[in-house]
Amino acid sequence: MKTRTVRRTRLVPHTVNGITEMVLDRYEVEVPVPPRDWDRTILNAVTAAAGLLVAVAVVWSTASIGDLLARVTVAPAAYAAAVAFDLAWILCMAVEWLARYDPARAEQPRNMGHGALAVAMVAVGAHGWLAGQEAIGIIGAVVSGIVKTLWTIVLRHHAKPLDDKTQQWVDKQRAEAGGELAMVAINRELTRARGMVAAEEQVLRTDPDADPRESGQDPDNGFGSPGPNSTGPMTVKDAVRTAKAAGITDPDKVLKYVHQVADANAKAETVNRYLRMGVAC
């Protein structure tokens, strides 16, 4: 059995002049070396070789299809478009790889990848046919087909399908996590919409053309108008935002409004900081 030397450390007591301290003691031990995992080594080598062949296929297809398209357009645009032919089925393979634990989700990118590959092979064959080299066109088209077939085999070897009950459990967990993620954006959208509604209401309440009975001095808030309307518990930042939306810019009045609807202990420097930051409505 093969072994290898490993350096380790441990704490040991060490005494000098009657004073003991715990110090590091470095020592070496021989540990067994596990046998090489040839299966994993071969799989990694095959995967790397398949990736190299993809690069070869892309270069060949791009050169052929680019030359074909260059007959009717400028070369830079032709070769840029030619990349899309192979890039389409390569991206489908990447998505299929991401869904390797879920056969149902991997089926669609696999089928789309086969379709994109067929289009690329036809384009390469057409280039050879138009150039009067039908045999070369067919052989060139087969190159992409061989690479795609090889990658399909490699992907199936990497894939680890789950049993039916485990797959159902994963689907439910994925749906629950997806719902939570969606609610983050939805809650943000609703908060923004409610803020816009509140700001619009405040603008209408402070409209100079409004009923004079509603625009007089309010002895309770001292804002010279009914002031912003509080629709529920608010943070200091929300209160400052609402006050600004209502046209209140005086720091003292904003602070008074914050004390009324948000935090009675809010400090003036906090409110002034939000005002300087220009809190968005």
Predicted confidence at residue 209, as pLDDT, reads 45
70: exposed, middle or buried (Cβ count in 10 Å: 0-12, 13-18, 19+): middle
Predicted confidence at residue 211, as pLDDT, reads 43
What lies within 8 Å, CB to CB, of 122 at 6+ separation is 141
Q: What is the DSSP letter of 231?
A: -
Predicted confidence at residue 255, as pLDDT, reads 86
Amino acid identity of residue 93, one-letter, is: M
* Dist CA 59 CA 86 (whole Å): 9
Predicted confidence at residue 207, as pLDDT, reads 46
pTM of the model: 0.52
Ranges of the chain with pLDDT below 70: 203, 205-233, 279-281
DSSP-derived 3-state class of residue 248: coil
How far the first Cα of the chain sits from its last, in Å, is: 72
Predicted confidence at residue 213, as pLDDT, reads 40
- Chain segment 233-270, per-residue pLDDT in tens: 678 888 888 888 877 878 888 888 888 888 888 888 88
Predicted confidence at residue 279, as pLDDT, reads 58
Predicted confidence at residue 208, as pLDDT, reads 46
Predicted confidence at residue 273, as pLDDT, reads 83
8 Å CB contact between 279 and 244: yes
Beta bridge partners of 32: 3
